[in-house]
Amino acid sequence: MEPSTSGGRRIITRAAELDFAFSDLPTRPLEVRVLMADPTHFDVLYVINPHMAGNVGNVDRGLARRQWESVRDAYASVGFPIEVVDAVAGLPDLVFMANQSFPGQLPNGRWAAILSYMHSPERRPEVDVVAAWYRARGAHTVHLSDPTLPFEGMGDVAWVPGRRAIVGGYGFRTHADAYPELATLFDVPVLTLKLVDERFYHLDTCLQIIDDRTALYVPCAFNQEGIELLQQAFPRLVEIPEEEAAVGLACNGHSPDGRHFIVHRGARRTVAAVRSLGLTPIEVDTGEFIKSGGSVYCMKLMVP
């Protein structure tokens, strides 16, 4: 059956404005590959989020590499081919590949990547590295019309799996003004959510969308309007305990296929919650990366 609505090309901020279900929207292909960046130069050299405080110079690089390999192997074990971008000296956060871009399929069927403008000057040079990777593969790259509007790619923006709709966070790293342009470029509705708790500075630390009906979230990261919008958008909205999400970045776990959930080890209640949703948890250790404020989801980018 043909989808009954496209959802419209617009910004939705409140539950009352949501007049469709994601499952009624046109479908889109899921990304099939995983892009990661070699962790050779991963480190904590500056503090740009609360998790990094106290951790400057405190990374065990050997352990970080083994942990990175375990994340890579977890994706491979569930059938995703991995591509790796070379490390660059002086770019310790390049390894967080979710942040430098936002790939998606344009209305004409072509894939494009929106390039980020990182909030912190320390991270801005990472974007050229990722842009070069896309261009070498013939992918189209796009800057927002204001190329210095803060925008941190998949750290703050997520496609609803399999549907032509986007959910975007703003407040710490990405500016809300980025979203009307994404709605126009991709011709999709964009649900926007204000982030209010600094520990959850990227949307991918407090919202994980599993499928077009199901999401995990951390309520204290959102305001009341955002919570109500999420409740309206996802019939199965599951709360992740604040402690597990703040300390172990449990909500930065990731389901690449709607069947498995790869997550930093030890999030007992989160693991129980994803099991009760019918997912198979895969626990990995990302402790060195958590010192920098990132875990599974932000260590990779899903690409077509």
> Of the two residues 96 and 159, which places its CB atom closer to ligand ARG in the complex?
96
Q: How far apart are CA 90 and CA 80, in angstroms?
A: 29
Token pair, residue 69, equals 């390999």
For tokens 């949307």, the residue is 203
Per-residue CA distances from 226 to 43, 102, 182 (Å): 34, 22, 19
Candidates 14-22, 83-91, 96-104, 138-146: pick the segment binding ligand ARG (CB under 6 A).
96-104
* Rg of the Cα atoms in the chain: 18
Nearest alpha-carbon partner for 130 in 90, 81, 88, 172 = 88
Our finding on whether 100 is near ligand ARG (CB under 6 A) is: no
Q: How far apart are CA 292 and CA 41, in angstroms?
A: 13
CA atoms within 13 A on the CB side of 177: 8
Our finding on whether 298 is near ligand ARG (CB under 6 A) is: yes
Say if residues 245 and 218 touch (Cβ distance below 8 Å). Answer: yes
Our finding on whether 253 is near ligand ARG (CB under 6 A) is: no
Contact pick of 99, 101, 214, 286 for ligand ARG (by CB under 6 A): 99
Nearest alpha-carbon partner for 204 in 301, 103, 304 = 301
The three-class DSSP label of residue 24 is: helix
Our finding on whether 155 is near ligand ARG (CB under 6 A) is: yes
Candidates 10-18, 207-215, 225-233, 286-294: pick the segment binding ligand ARG (CB under 6 A).
286-294
Torsion of CA 149, 150, 153, 157, to 10 degrees: -90
Per-residue contact flags (x/-) with ligand ARG for residues 21 to 40, judged by CB under 6 A: --------------------
> Of the two residues 93 and 211, which places its CB atom closer to ligand ARG in the complex?
93
Active-site annotation holds for 202: yes
> Of the two residues 155 and 171, which places its CB atom closer to ligand ARG in the complex?
155
Nearest alpha-carbon partner for 99 in 137, 150, 164, 61 = 150
Candidates 6-14, 44-52, 83-91, 263-271: pick the segment binding ligand ARG (CB under 6 A).
44-52
Contacts (CB under 6 A) with ligand ARG, residues 122-151: 123
Per-residue contact flags (x/-) with ligand ARG for residues 193 to 232, judged by CB under 6 A: ---------x-xx---------------------------
The residues that are catalytic are 202, 298
The residue ranges that bind ligand ARG (CB under 6 A) are 48-49, 52, 93, 96, 98-99, 123, 155, 202, 204-205, 292-294, 298
